[in-house]
C-alpha cells in the first residue's frame, strides 16, 4: 500500500520531530524471565539425569516401563515449557496516539477499509447478532465513504440476507445517531441493554423502537423458518429472495448470491451523508488497501479502532514489512470465575505480548487489520493473481452495481474459482488446516512479514463465549486437529518454521502446533501415579530424598510463574484456577480425541469436518453459567474419558489416604507425592463429582456417561493391578 500524502509542514518548524504515532516499551520482567529460564533449564537437565539413572538401574519390567512412561511424558512437558520461553525472551508493550493521526495525513487521504464478516449457520449464529456486528463497524469514526462491509454467508441463508436488508434501513438512522451523540458502544443491542450508558430522550426512544422492531422481525423469520409475504413488499425484495427457489439450492451447494444492500454512491442516511457500502458475499468490489476480518459475533467496542491500527500501518518506519495489526480477542458475558477458561488469556493476551518483541503476534482469526498487499507474496516479491482486477494495487473506480464489477464478483465468489490457482496456497488466506487463521499468520511470517499487537485499555472488540462445556471442548478439539495438520505438514513449525523465522519464533509457533500431544503427559499424571497408589507402589522420590526438592521446584516454579503472568495481565487467582483446571480437562478429553482423530485422518479414514460453535443462549444454561455451574447435559465421548479419570482419582485418593493414616509402614513416606498430586486432581474434578451425584438439573452428567466411565475405570484398574503387581 502506498504511503498517503503527508500534510504540508512548511508552516511549522521544519526542524521539529514528526508527530508521534506509537511507542514501544520493553517489559521490566525480561531479565527475570531469562534468569529463571536458565535456572529452570538446569533443573530439567537434572530431572532427566535422574530418569536416565533410574532407567539404567531398573531391575524389573514394571519399574522400567513406569520410568520410561514418565520420561516420555516429562520430555513432552519440557518441550512445551522450552517452546513457551520464546514468549518470555522479549515481551514488549505498545501505545498508539490516534489523536496525532490527523497531523500526519488528511482525512480525505485515509486508506479505504474493507470489513469481512463471516457467518455460516443462522441457527447457531443468530442473524441479529451478525447484524449488530456489522452495524458496530459501519458506525466507526472513519469516513463512511471509505468503509465497505462484506458479509460472507457460507450457509447461503435467506434469513441472513433478510436480516441485512432490514439492517440497511436501520443504518440510515443509527449511524447519524451515533455520530451526533458520540456514542462509544455502537452495537445497538449492547447499547440499549446497558441503561447507564444513555439518557432516554424522544430521539433515543424512536431509535430504540426502530431497533426492537427490526430485531423482532428478524427473530420471527428465523423462528418460523420462512419469510412471509408481508416482508416481500417490493420487486427488489422479491427478486433478491427468488434465488432460493432455484432447484437444487442447498446450504452446501448453491450458486453465488451477491446482493448490494447499500451503495455509498447512492444511499444516504437521514442527515444526507453517504452510507458505507454493505454487500452480501465478499469479492473484488472495492479492493481497499486495508482489510479487517471479524467473526460474526465479535462486535466493535471502540469506534476509534481503525485509527489505532493506522498508527502502525501508516508509520513509515514499519510500512515496508508490516503485514497486519492484531487486536486481542476479548469477551463480554464471562462469569466471575470464567469456569470454562474461555478468556484464553495466554493465547490472546500474554503470548502475543511476547511474540510482539520478536516479529509480532500470530493471526487470531478476528479483530485483525491486514494490509492487502501482505496477502500477495513476501515483502520483496509480489505474487500476482490470475485476474488483474484482484491485484492489491488495483483501484476500483466503478460503482458496486456496475455490470463489470458484479460479473467479476460472481466469478471469484464461486466455490470453484480458486481451483488450479494460487489462492489458498501462495496468496490470500491459506488452506490446508482446520486452524486456518493460525496457518495463514504462520505462512505470512515465514514469508518475512511482521505484525503488531495493539492492546488498548478499552477493548477494541468483544465477542460471545460458549455457555456449555461440550461446545468448549468441541471447539478446542477442532483447534487441536488443525494445529497438528500444520505441525506435521511440509511447513512444520519445528523445521520449516525455525529455518524461515529463526529459533524463537519457530519455537513459539511450535508451542501451539503440538498442543494436542500434551494429552500424553496429562493423561499419564492423571492415571499412572493414582493406579500405582492404589497398589501401594511409589514412583516418586521420598520426602527425605534430596531429589524430592527438585520435583517441588519444578512443580512450584512452573505453576508460580504461570500464576504471576496471569495476574500481571489483569487476571484473578479464581480465574487462574479455572484456567489450569480446564488445561487438565482438555488434556483428558479434546486433546486426546483430537490427536486420535488426526492420526486416523492421516491414514485416509474420513473424519468429522468443520462444525460451527453455537452462539445461541439457552436461558437455563445461561443461569447455571452465571452461577458457576458446569454444563454437561448431553452424552458425549469427550465426557467419558474425563469422568473415568475423575473416578479413578477419587478412588485412589480415598484408598491412599486410608492407607496413609491407618497402615503407616515404611512405604508411607514414598507415597506422599502421589497422594498430594491425586488430591489436587480431585479438587480440579469437583465439578464432575457434583454433576454425577449432587445435581438434578438438566445440566447434570448423563447416566449413560457415568455408567460407561465407571465400567472403563474398573477395567483400567484391573489391568493396571495385574501389570503393576
pLDDT in tens, 678-693: 999 999 999 999 999 9
DSSP string, 575-606: HHHHHHHHHHHHHHTHHHHHHHHHHHHHTT--
Catalytic residue check, 197 = no
User: Residue holding cell 513449525?
Assistant: 493
Report whether pLDDT(423) > 90. no
Does one domain contain both 700 and 575? Answer: yes
pLDDT in the model for residue 8: 46
pLDDT at 94: 96
In a 13 Å sphere around the CA of 423, the CA atoms on its Cβ side amount to 15
Only one residue has cell 491412599, namely 656
Average pLDDT over residues 463-479: 92
Q: Please check whether residue 351 lies inside any domain of the structure.
A: no
Q: Of 417, 433, 464, which one is at a domain's C-terminal end?
A: 417
Give the residue-averaged pLDDT of 417-437. 86
Give dist(CA 646, CA 638) in Å, integer.
Answer: 13
Active-site position among 141, 154, 263, 562: 154
Average pLDDT over residues 229-254: 61
CA distance 78 to 135: 47
Is residue 467 one of the residues assigned to a domain? no
Please count the residues of the chain.
725
pTM: 0.91
Asked whether residue 200 is domain-assigned, the answer is yes
Q: Which of 395, 376, 373, 367 lies closest to 306 in space, CA to CA?
A: 367
124 annotated among ligand-binding-site residues: yes
At 106-115, the pLDDT tens digits run 999 999 999 9
Residue 660 located in a structural domain: yes
Judge if 130 and 250 occupy the same domain. Answer: yes
How far apart CA 585 and CA 579 sit, in angstroms, is 10
- Asked if the model's pLDDT at residue 663 lies above 80, the reply is no
- Is 81 inside a domain boundary? no
Does the pLDDT value for residue 543 go beyond 70? yes
Do 160 and 275 sit in the same domain of this protein? yes
Q: Which residues contact 437 (CB under 8 A, 6 or more apart)?
A: 362, 363, 364, 365, 366
Mean pLDDT for 323-340 is 94
Total domain count for the chain?
A: 2
Q: How confident is the model at residue 23 (pLDDT cuts 50, 70, 90)?
A: very high
Name the phi and psi angles at 692, rounded to 5.
-80, -45
Confidence of residue 2 (pLDDT cuts 50, 70, 90): very low
Q: Which residues contact 682 (CB under 8 A, 6 or more apart)?
A: 646, 649, 650, 653
The label of the residue with cell 442473524 reads 127
Examine residue 43 and state whether it is found in any structural domain, yes or no: no
What value does the CA radius of gyration of the chain take, rounded to a whole number of Å? 28
Reply yes or no on whether the pLDDT at 197 is more than 80.
no
Average pLDDT over every residue of 209-220: 93
457 is in an annotated binding site: no
* Domain contains 299: no
* Same domain (yes/no): 260, 399: yes
Single residue among 394, 417, 440 that ends a domain in this structure: 417
Nearest alpha-carbon partner for 358 in 569, 92, 95:
92
**Residue range 529-552: mean pLDDT, rounded:** 93
149-163, 223-237, 357-371: range with lowest mean pLDDT: 223-237
Q: What is the pLDDT of residue 281?
A: 61
Question: How is the chain split among helix, strand and coil, in percent rounded to 5?
Answer: 55, 10, 35
Which residues, listed in sequence order, are joined to residue 605 by a DSSP beta bridge?
Answer: none
Q: Which band of pLDDT confidence, cut at 50, 70 and 90, is reported for residue 9?
A: very low
Read off the pLDDT of each residue in 190-209 and give the average, rounded to a whole number: 79
Q: What average pLDDT does the chain have?
A: 88
Domain that holds residue 551: 515-724
The grid coordinates of residue 309 equal 491500527
pLDDT band (50, 70, 90) for residue 366:
very high
**Which three-class secondary structure string do you get for 608-640?**
CCCCCCCCCCCHHHHHHHHCCCCCCCCCCHHHH
Which residue in 437, 464, 471, 579 is the catalytic one? 437
| Residue 437 known to be catalytic | yes
pLDDT over threshold 60, residue 612 = no
Looking at the fold, whether 563 and 675 belong to one and the same domain comes out as: yes
Both 139 and 246 in one domain: the answer is: yes
Task: Provide CB contacts within 8 A for 396, sequence distance 6+.
Answer: 284, 285, 286, 287, 389, 405
In a domain, 363, yes or no: no
Whether residue 611 has pLDDT greater than 80: no
Distance from C-alpha of 124 to C-alpha of 103, rounded to nearest angstrom: 45
Whether residues 122 and 237 share a domain: the answer is: yes
Residue 236's pLDDT is 61
Q: What is the largest CA-CA distance in the chain?
A: 90
Please check the confidence at residue 148 and state whether its pLDDT lies above 60. yes
Closest Cα partner for 78 from 120, 35, 101, 46? Answer: 46
Amino acid at each position: 500500500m502506498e504511503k498517503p500524502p503527508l500534510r504540508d509542514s512548511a508552516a511549522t518548524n521544519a526542524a521539529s520531530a514528526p508527530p508521534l504515532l506509537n511507542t514501544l516499551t520493553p517489559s521490566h520482567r525480561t531479565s527475570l524471565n531469562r534468569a529463571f529460564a536458565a535456572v529452570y533449564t538446569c533443573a530439567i537437565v537434572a530431572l532427566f539425569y535422574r530418569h536416565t539413572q533410574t532407567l539404567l538401574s531398573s531391575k524389573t519390567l514394571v519399574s522400567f516401563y513406569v520410568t520410561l512412561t514418565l520420561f516420555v511424558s516429562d520430555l513432552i512437558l519440557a518441550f512445551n515449557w522450552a517452546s513457551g520461553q520464546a514468549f518470555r525472551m522479549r515481551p514488549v508493550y505498545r501505545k498508539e496516539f490516534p489523536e496525532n493521526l490527523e497531523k500526519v495525513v488528511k482525512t480525505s487521504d485515509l486508506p479505504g477499509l474493507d470489513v469481512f464478516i463471516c457467518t455460516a449457520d443462522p441457527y447457531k449464529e443468530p442473524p441479529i447478532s451478525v447484524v449488530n456486528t456489522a452495524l458496530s463497524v459501519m458506525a466507526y469514526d472513519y469516513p463512511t465513504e471509505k468503509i465497505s462491509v462484506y458479509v460472507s454467508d457460507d450457509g447461503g441463508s435467506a434469513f441472513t440476507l433478510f436480516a441485512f436488508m432490514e439492517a440497511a434501513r436501520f443504518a440510515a438512522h443509527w449511524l447519524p445517531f451515533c455520530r451526533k451523540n458520540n456514542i462509544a458502544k455502537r452495537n445497538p443491542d449492547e447499547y440499549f441493554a446497558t441503561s447507564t450508558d444513555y439518557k432516554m430522550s424522544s430521539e433515543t426512544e424512536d431509535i430504540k423502537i426502530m431497533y426492537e422492531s427490526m430485531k423482532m422481525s428478524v427473530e420471527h423469520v428465523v423462528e418460523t423458518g420462512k419469510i412471509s409475504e408481508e416482508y416481500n413488499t417490493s420487486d427488489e425484495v422479491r427478486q433478491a429472495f427468488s434465488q432460493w427457489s432455484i432447484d437444487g439450492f442447498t446450504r452446501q451447494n448453491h450458486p453465488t448470491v451477491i446482493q448490494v444492500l447499500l451503495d455509498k454512491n447512492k444511499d444516504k442516511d437521514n442527515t444526507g451523508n453517504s452510507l458505507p457500502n454493505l454487500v452480501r458475499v465478499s469479492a473484488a468490489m472495492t479492493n481497499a488497501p486495508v482489510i479487517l476480518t471479524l467473526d460474526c459475533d465479535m462486535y466493535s467496542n471502540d469506534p476509534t479502532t481503525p485509527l489505532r491500527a493506522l498508527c502502525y500501518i501508516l508509520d513509515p518506519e514499519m510500512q515496508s514489512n508490516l503485514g497486519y495489526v492484531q487486536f486481542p480477542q476479548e469477551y463480554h458475558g464471562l462469569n466471575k470465575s470464567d469456569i470454562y477458561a474461555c478468556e484464553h488469556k495466554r493465547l490472546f493476551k500474554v503470548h502475543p505480548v511476547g511474540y510482539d518483541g520478536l516479529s509480532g503476534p500470530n493471526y487470531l482469526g478476528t479483530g485483525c487489520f491486514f494490509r492487502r498487499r501482505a496477502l500477495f507474496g513476501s515483502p520483496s516479491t509480489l505474487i500476482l493473481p490470475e485476474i488483474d482486477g484482484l491485484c492489491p494495487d488495483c483501484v476500483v473506480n466503478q460503482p458496486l452495481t456496475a455490470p463489470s464489477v458484479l460479473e467479476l464478483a460472481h466469478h471469484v465468489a464461486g466455490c470453484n474459482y480458486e481451483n488450479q490457482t494460487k489462492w489458498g496456497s501462495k496468496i490470500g488466506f491459506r488452506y490446508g488446516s482446520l486452524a486456518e487463521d493460525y496457518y495463514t499468520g504462520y505462512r505470512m511470517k515465514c514469508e518475512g512479514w511482521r505484525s503488531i499487537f495493539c492492546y488498548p485499555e478499552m477493548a477494541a472488540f468483544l465477542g460471545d463465549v460458549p455457555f456449555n462445556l461440550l461446545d468448549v471442548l468441541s471447539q478446542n478439539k477442532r483447534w487441536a486437529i488443525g494445529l497438528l495438520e500444520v505441525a506435521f505438514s511440509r511447513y512444520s513449525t519445528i523445521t520449516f518454521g525455525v529455518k524461515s523465522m529463526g529459533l524463537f519464533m519457530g519455537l513459539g509457533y511450535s508451542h501451539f502446533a503440538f498442543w494436542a500431544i500434551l494429552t500424553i503427559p496429562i493423561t499419564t499424571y492423571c492415571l499412572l501415579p493414582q493406579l500405582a497408589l492404589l497398589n501401594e507402589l511409589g514412583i516418586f522420590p521420598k520426602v527425605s530424598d534430596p531429589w524430592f526438592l527438585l520435583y517441588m521446584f519444578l512443580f512450584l516454579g512452573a505453576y508460580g510463574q504461570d500464576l504471576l503472568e496471569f495476574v500481571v495481565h489483569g487476571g484473578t487467582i479464581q480465574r487462574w484456577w479455572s484456567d489450569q483446571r480446564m488445561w487438565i480437562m482438555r488434556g483428558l478429553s479434546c486433546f486426546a480425541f483430537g490427536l486420535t482423530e488426526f492420526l486416523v485422518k492421516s491414514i485416509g479414514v474420513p473424519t468429522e469436518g468443520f462444525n460451527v460453535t453455537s452462539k445461541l443462549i439457552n436461558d437455563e444454561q445461561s443461569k447455571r453459567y452465571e452461577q458457576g455451574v458446569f454444563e454437561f447435559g448431553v452424552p458425549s465421548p469427550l465426557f467419558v474419558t474425563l469422568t473415568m479419570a475423575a473416578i479413578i482419582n477419587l478412588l485412589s485418593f480415598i484408598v491412599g489416604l486410608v492407607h496413609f493414616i491407618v497402615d503407616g509402614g515404611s512405604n508411607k513416606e514414598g507415597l506422599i507425592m502421589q497422594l498430594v498430586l491425586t488430591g489436587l486432581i480431585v479438587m480440579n474434578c469437583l465439578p464432575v463429582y457434583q454433576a454425577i451425584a449432587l445435581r438434578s438439573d438438566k445440566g447434570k452428567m448423563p447416566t449413560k456417561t457415568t455408567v460407561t466411565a465407571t465400567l472403563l475405570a474398573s477395567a483400567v484398574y484391573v489391568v493396571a493391578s495385574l501389570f503393576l503387581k
